[in-house]
Amino acid sequence: MPDAKNKGGKGVRRPRLEPTEQQRADIKEAFDLFDVEGTGTIDAKEVRVALRALGFEPSRDELKRLIAEVERNKKYAGSTDGMDKQRNTAAQGAGQPSLAQLDYNDFLEIMKIKMNEKPTREQLSKGFLALANGKDVITWDDLKKASVDLGEKLSDEELREMLAHACRGRSSQVTEEDFFRILRS
């Protein structure tokens, strides 16, 4: 009999991440930037640019998938109102994904989905290269610089412990494979 932690023998699910207050403020700021007319909605086409402003690079297909997922969630929750029906009908007639206009809650839901997705190997590689400053390993100096740049108050000892854990004590440098292993676990 499967236990509560391991639903039906499948992997243990991580709890869904919710944006912090600062992240919510950043998301709202990005949304408002594209709501130039002050209607409380942004065009589905603008969502892709707004996502880029927040550090995501969705393809057109991925954006369609995200919008469709938000639409499914709204239908499942029974939250379609008159305005939603009006904008959905107009969008479907134009051959666009159903949500031609997204309100802030739609956009926030897309951001929550993106925040909870596992990063691709390509995304991890970009992150590794940024931390390693173009080298093939991340050093203690790289970690120290990143912690200062991000405003994290980590002691030298904490950074050494992170480095030792990441490279499993076999060196004082983190390889790209070490980086992938840590971020995928």
Check whether 181 has a pLDDT greater than 80.
yes
* Percent with pLDDT over 90 in the chain: 25
Q: pLDDT category, 2, cuts 50, 70, 90?
A: very low
Q: What is residue 14's predicted lDDT score, i.e. its pLDDT?
A: 57
Token reading at 165: 């854990």
The beta-carbon contacts of 62-65 under 8 Å, at least 24 apart in sequence, are 63/97, 64/97
pLDDT of residue 102: 92
Q: Domains (ranges, CATH) in the chain?
A: 16-116 (1.10.238.10), 121-184 (1.10.238.10)
Beta-carbon contacts of 174 under 8 Å, excluding residues fewer than 6 positions away, are 137, 138, 139, 163, 166, 167
pLDDT at 4 (0 to 100): 42
> What pLDDT is attached to residue 16?
73
The predicted-structure confidence for 115-148, as pLDDT tens digits, reads as follows 888 878 888 888 888 889 889 999 889 988 988 8
**Res 20 pLDDT > 80:** yes
What is the reported pLDDT for 116?
86
Query: What is the C-alpha separation between 95 and 75, in angstroms, rounded?
Result: 20
Among 60-64, 154-158, 181-185, name the one with the lowest average pLDDT: 181-185
For 56-101, how does the pLDDT look when each residue is reduced to its tens digit (9 = 90+)?
888 889 999 999 999 888 887 765 454 444 444 444 444 444 457 8
Which residue's entry shows tokens 């207050």? 21
pLDDT surpasses 90 at 40: yes
pLDDT at 185: 66
pLDDT at 15: 65
Q: Residue 178 pLDDT more than 50? A: yes
Rounded to an integer, the average pLDDT of 3-25 is: 65
Give the global pTM.
0.59
| Cα(106)–Cα(78) distance, integer angstroms | 14
| SS3 readout for 161-180 | HHHHHHCCCCCCCEEHHHHH
